[in-house]
Chains A and B, each alone.
Chain A
Amino acid sequence: MINTMLTISLVLISITIVIAVLRIILGPSLPDRVLALDVIGVNLIASIAVISVLMNTKAFLEVILILGILSFIGTIAYSKYILRGVVVERKRDR
């Protein structure tokens, strides 16, 4: 029964990722696409937690932290790019 519940939740999370990919393809503006990428990153974290429960191992728990940091940095860099046009600014005095 536990295995059935975990498999159902894994399927639901993958449905979410498919819908977010659909939003990336459809999305009219660039912030829509970045928002959908953020949703994909957050759902990858959840799916890795479910997989580590399903396989009954503790080896994947570092991946959660790494993916959280990478998804956050990616979203911040994209929003900076949308706002300014560059990611790393050289000139400080504007």
Chain B
Amino acid sequence: MNVNAIGEFVGAFLILIGSIMSVISAFGLIRLPDVYTRSHAATKSSTLAVLLTLLGAFVYFWTTAHFISVRLLLGIVFVFLTAPVAGHLLVRSAYRSKVKLADISGTDDLREVLRKEEKEQ
């Protein structure tokens, strides 16, 4: 096994682990009870999945074609920056538009703050 074969194998293995992470996040998306718990599955593990996949593609092109792809690195940085921001904004707007929590969730600490804010307006 020379360096090219090892690099190919490492890239394909990273891509495989990334897709397995993506399936795990999809199971979280279908099994969890409300939008706030679903956002954990949809933002955190999905971001990890796509980062592993892009890193695998980067390693593959680096070792087989000796091509350091700046576009893949920019894609990694961009996904890593924007996916948590998008998830945070979406859950914030869901909470402020009063989507219900699941029945098994115990406390809701922000409800008093939101009620006071509405009373002031």
Residues of A within 8 A of B (CB): 1-2, 5-6, 8-10, 12-13, 15-16, 19-20, 22-23, 29, 31-32, 34-36, 38-39, 42-43, 45-46, 49-50, 52-53, 56, 58, 61-62, 64-65, 68-69, 71-72, 75-76, 78-80, 82-83
Contact = CB atoms under 8 A, between A and B. Distances in A.
A37 to B, nearest CB: 10
Interface in B50-96: 50, 53-54, 56-57, 60-61, 64-65, 67, 69, 71-72, 74-75, 78-79, 82-83, 85-87, 89-94, 96
Chain B binding surface, main DSSP class: helix
A3 to B, nearest CB: 9
Nearest to A36: B29
Given A2-B8, A80-B93, A16 B22 contact: yes
Interface of B: 8-9, 11-13, 15-16, 18-20, 22-23, 25-27, 29-30, 35, 38-39, 42-43, 46-47, 49-50, 53-54, 56-57, 60-61, 64-65, 67, 69, 71-72, 74-75, 78-79, 82-83, 85-87, 89-94, 96-97, 99
